[in-house]
Structure formats: structure tokens, C-alpha cells
Structure 1
Amino acid sequence: MNQAPDPKKHRSRWSQISTNTLVRFLLFFASGWALVAIFQYFEYVIFVFALSGILALLLNYPLQFLQRFVGRRLALGLVIALSLITIIAAVVTIGLTLTNQVQQLATLLLQTLNTSNNPFDQLQSTLAARNIPFNLDVIEAQIRDVFVVSLNWIVSSLPVLFQNYVTFIIILVVAFFMLIDGAKLWRLVLKLVPAQHRNRVSIAVQTNFFGFLRGQLLISFLLSIATFLVFALFQIPFPFLLAVTIGVFDLIPGIGATLGVSLVCLIIFVQSNWLIAFKVLLICLVLQQLQDNLLSPRVMQSTIHLSPVVVFFALLVGTKISGLLGLFLAVPIAGVIVSLFNLEEAQGE
């Protein structure tokens, strides 16, 4: 017969939780909650300085290259002048191109979805001809609503993004000052860390945070170029816009590439037909395999590899705390934490 649990055992277990342990847990919880609240309150400041830091990190590579041939001051002047010209030209040309293609694509998709012979009806007829009982009406209605809401939001948001030039100028100015005084600012930040841990923190941040961002940006940039060239070769509609979409989504670790490819294939399916969408899917899968098996291991070999469960947990927490910015910075921050605390269980194979 089953014996009733001994109440003394329960009392002994609860007695193991001391007052000091409980107080430490509550203080830890309160500190975490206060940190999240402060992060959300200064989200705009963190957003500006995060983008400025990433831009300064990218500009530091041509600066180090030019310093081999000329002095630091002349190299700084050349990098700042050339980067200003490049950024302004890129914003004008790429921004106008993206805006034009987004508007054209939005109009085309809405017209296609409102026709009586759209791709969903064609697929429904094909399935019915093969006696496959599958109703796409509900899926079609949901996808139509999602497309209408998303495209309207994108079209209405693009002018606001280009008109918000004040934030853009602030990011450029802060990035240039970070580029000039980067070493001093980094030493200033390290003073917040106890002296015995500064070297370890510096290595962890530079390896995991800066190394991850540098590698992820390089991989996404190369993937965008390769996707654009292949799409243009196979005459896929709107190759520039679709390549940029895949590259931006690829910046999200773990699930970003899948989301980008799924969105692009869905757009192609609605715009054209399922055969072209299937062709795009095959192209994207081949490029993703080349990236994951050839490019990523070489670019990311110096950074820490996290377990997929930890990656998804970091993405969800980062999105909850800081939205889009947290989505992009969650994984490198998690890598720094895992490296500092030597959490081998959280590392991937």
C-alpha cells in the first residue's frame, strides 16, 4: 500500500531555505526588474548608441587599413569624408529604389489578391482536379488580411523613416566620435567593472558581441548580394527588394533566414505562381546551405556557439524587453553572458 508522505520531510525541505537565500533571491529579482525598467526607459538612447557603435565598428576596419600608409589624423579624415559621401549616396539611391519597389509590389499584390483568378484559386482548382479535399478559402482570407495590413504599414512607415533625419544625423555624429575616441571610451566603460575582471570582460565582449555582430553583418551582406545576382539571373521579379528582405531577416540568428525565405516565397507565390515560388525556394535553400556549411563556420569560428534552445530563449526575451533592437542584440549579449560565467551547458556543439 502507498504510504502517506511524512510531514517531517516537507518541513525539513522548507527549513533548508534560509532567510539569507530568500533575501538574495528577492534582491536579484528586484535588480533584474529595475534593470529591465531602466533599459525600456532609455530605449531610444540605447538604440542610438547601439547603431552608432555598430557603425563605428564597421568604419574601424578601413581606418586600420589606411593607418598602415598614412597618419591616424589623415586616415580619420579620409574615412569620415568617404563614409559620409557613401552613406548619403546609399540612403538616397537605395532608399528611393526600395520605396519605389515596395509601392509597386504593394499595388501589384493587392491587385492580384482582389482578382477572381488569383494563385490561391488556381491552386484550389488544381487540388480539386486531383480529388484532394483541401479548402484554401480561410487561408486565403487570412493571408489577404495580413498582406493588406503589413503593406499599408510598410508604405506608410517608409516616408517617416526617411524624414526622421535628426536621429540619423545624431547616429552619424556619435559614430564618428566613437571612431575617434573609441579606445578611450572603451577604457572608460571597463572602469565600471572590477579591476580583476576587466581583461576577461574585454575579451568576452570583443569576441562574442563585436565578433558576432561583425560576422553576422558580413554574412547577411554577402547573402544579399548573392541572392540579388541569382534572382536577377533567373529573372525573378523585384530582385533587389527581395534580396534586401532576405538579408535583413538573416540578421536575426536562428530563425531569421527561415522567416525571410518564407516571406519571399509567399510574395512570389501571390505575385506570380507556385512554379516560380518553388524555384525561388530551391534557390534560397541552396544559398542557405552554402552559407551555413561554407561561409558561417569560417566567419563565426572565433565566436561562441550557443545551444539552439538558448538562442530562441534569448530572442524571445530580447523581443519582450526591447522589441526590434532586442531581437538583433539578444544573441550576442547571451553569448557574452555564457562566456563570462563559463556556462558550458548553454553552448552548442
Structure 2
Amino acid sequence: MNEPNRQSFWDNLTNTKLIRYVLLFALAWAVVQVLAYFETVIIIFVFAAIFAFLLNFPVRWASRIMPRGVATVLVFLLSLLLIGGIVVTLGIAAFSQAQQLVEQAPQLLNSVTELLGNLQSLLQRWNLNVDFSELEGQLRNGALSTLGLGFTTVQNVLANALDLIVIAVVAFFMLLDGKRLWDLILRIFPRGMRDRITIAVRKNFLGFFWGRFLLSVFFGISVYIVFILLGVPYALGLAAIAGVFDLIPGIGATLGITLISLIILPQGIGLALTVLVSCILLQQVEENILMPRIMQGSINMNPVVMFFALLVGARVAGLVGVFLSIPIAGVLISLFEVEEMQGKQD
């Protein structure tokens, strides 16, 4: 049944259209290069736009009872106080526990080495000659690399504090007068598409980032409660790791769970397995019960397309591309109404 459409496409493919497609591909490549060159500036404005998107909803709600300018200032200041209070309160405690974890890293590594030695002795009793010496060396090198990466990341965050201030300032002015700038951007599109683009961007971007934030908060808090009940050491620091990793779409929660289980492994295989199973159950609750309700009316995408978008986004723009790839793909699918790329409808 698709044969006539395929023949029609090739019959209509003229030299002019072929050149146009090649030029479009070259333009896309050039845009990627420009984006890579201005990466820092783009990251600042992208995160400022995300922050402004998230705050726009409470600003619109508050604008019903007060002028928009007053509502913007009030919501912006309250959000900064709330975020600052949470970061200072939880951040200090989590950083303190993380510092203790780093100080005890050699002991934890020795415990893992001892477990591998016991496992090797047990296998030798069964006439299975296995040498874990190379694996032990890789674990030590990997642990040192991870600690170095952690310290480097903290240093980069502290060094980029000025960028965080710039992001907050830009987001504030986007809230105040961003509509006129958005209307200017929409002028490059036909009039009939402008409303659809606005609705698609608001639905996919706002719904996606707000939903991911709520899901990561739930996952971090629930993991912390489970860790307290199980008596896991460094519960707050490990829960913070789980919540931060859960922000990464697709595989973030899985990476966080795996990392936490490896950190807890020296405390005992039973405790590590209990933590692993508990985190997996919480992840299933998040993905199968909460996510469909929180993300309802937002991203509607086939899982295969989602992972393809994640890989492309990571290749083009790194971690920023991972966060932006899904909402951008959702906007394109919504605008062009590609039903084959959408998720299953219940």
C-alpha cells in the first residue's frame, strides 16, 4: 500500500529539491558548529529560559490578584529564597556526609578488595581458578578517578557561581518582558503555525522539566526514608546522589541506583542487595504510577524515539543536549503530528 507513495516521492524528486535538501543538511551542520562555539552563552540562556518557564505558571496565577510586575518580583524572590534555603540546609549536610564518605573511601575500597579475595578463595575450593588482581587494580584506579572527578565538579560549580547569578538575572528579565521577545522569534514562522508552536513548546518544555523536577524530588525523599529505615550510612548524601541522577532522563535513575549499590557494597552484600531491590521498586513506582500522571498531557513519545533523541542530544551538546533533546523532539512530533513516533494511546 505504501508503494504508490514511495514512487510518487522519487518521481517528484527533482534536482532543485535535491540541492535544497543538501543545503538544509549543510545548514543544520553549520548551526551545530555555531552552537558548539557559543556553548557557554547558549547554556546560560537555555537554563535561564527553563527557569523562567517554570516560574511563569505561578506568576500567571499571582497576576490574577496583582499587577504582573509585582507578581514577577514576588514569585522570583520567593523562589530564590526557597531554593537557597533548600540548597544551604540540605547541601551542607549532604556535602558533609559526602566528605566523610570520601575520607573513608580507602577503607571501603579495602573492604571490596577483601570481598573479592574471599570470593576468589571460595571459587578455588570449587576448582575454579579465577584471578581478581587485575579487577582490583581497575577498581582502585576507577575509585581515584571518580574522586578526582567529584572534586573537579565541585570546583567547577563553585567557579561558575557567577554564571548562576547571570542565569537568575536573565530569567528575571525573561519573566518581566519575555513575551515580546518570544513574539519576535515567532515572526520567522507562518502565522498559522505560531499558536501551535507556542502551545507545543509550553506543553513539552514546561511539562517535561516540571515533571522531571517533581519526580526527582519524590525519588530522593523516598530513597532517603528507605535508607533511614534500613540504617544505611550517609543516607542524606546518598539520597542526594539518587535525586540528582534521577533528573537525567532515560537512564539517570538506573545509573544512580547502581552507583549507590556499589558504594554500600562494603557494608555487606545483604544490605547492598536490599538497597538495590528497594531502589528498583521505588523506580518502578515512579515510572509506572507517578510518571504517567505527572507527565500527562506533556511528552507523548515512543520510547525508541526517546532514546534516539537522547543519544543524538548527548552527541551534539553533551549533558545539556541530554536534557533538551526530549522536549525538542516532543515539540517536533507535536508540530508535524507524526503519529508513528508517538507513544501508545490508552
The question of a shared fold, defined as TM-score above 0.5 by the shorter chain, is answered with yes
Shift of 1:37: 0.8
Letter in 2 for 1:247: G
TM-score when normalising by structure 2: 0.87
Distance 1:341 1:61 in 2: 26
8 Å contact from structure 1 (residues 254, 308) kept in 2: no
8 Å contact from structure 1 (residues 246, 257) kept in 2: yes
8 Å contact from structure 1 (residues 76, 180) kept in 2: yes
1:148 aligned partner: 144
1:274 aligns with 2:269: yes
State the Cα deviation string for residues 85-127 of structure 1 (Å, max 9, x = none). 2333334334433333332222222332246853333444455
1:315 aligns with 2:316: no
2:25 aligned partner: 29
Q: 205, 211, 215: which is aligned to 1:219?
A: 215
8 Å contact from structure 1 (residues 106, 151) kept in 2: yes
Distance 1:101 1:294 in 2: 31
8 Å contact from structure 1 (residues 119, 273) kept in 2: no
State the Cα deviation string for residues 12-45 of structure 1 (Å, max 9, x = none). xx99964224312321220110111111112111
8 Å contact from structure 1 (residues 208, 303) kept in 2: yes
Distance 1:334 1:347 in 2: 10
The SS at the match of 1:305 is coil
Superposition pairs for residues 236-315 of structure 1, below 5 Å? 236-269=232-265, 271-315=266-310
Count of aligned pairs between the two proteins: 335
Q: Which sections of structure 2, spanning at least 5 residues, go unmatched? A: 1-9
8 Å contact from structure 2 (residues 54, 206) kept in 1: no
1:81 aligns with 2:69: no
Letter in 1 for 2:33: A
The SS at the match of 1:317 is helix
Q: Which moved more, 1:71-80 or 1:14-23?
A: 14-23
Q: What CA RMSD, in Å, does the superposition of the two structures yield over aligned residues?
A: 2.5
Shift of 1:300: 1.1
1:63 aligns with 2:59: yes
Shift of 1:140: 3.3
The SS at the match of 1:288 is helix
TM-score when normalising by structure 1: 0.87
Distance 1:291 1:163 in 2: 34
Q: Which sections of structure 1, spanning at least 5 residues, go unmatched? A: 1-13
Superposition pairs for residues 152-167 of structure 1, below 5 Å? 152-167=148-163
Shift of 1:83: 2.5
Distance 1:59 1:165 in 2: 21
1:98 aligns with 2:112: no
Shift of 1:326: 0.6
Q: 183, 188, 195: which is aligned to 2:179?
A: 183
8 Å contact from structure 1 (residues 119, 272) kept in 2: no
1:51 aligned partner: 47
8 Å contact from structure 1 (residues 102, 155) kept in 2: no
1:197 aligned partner: 193
8 Å contact from structure 1 (residues 51, 171) kept in 2: yes
Distance 1:234 1:78 in 2: 41
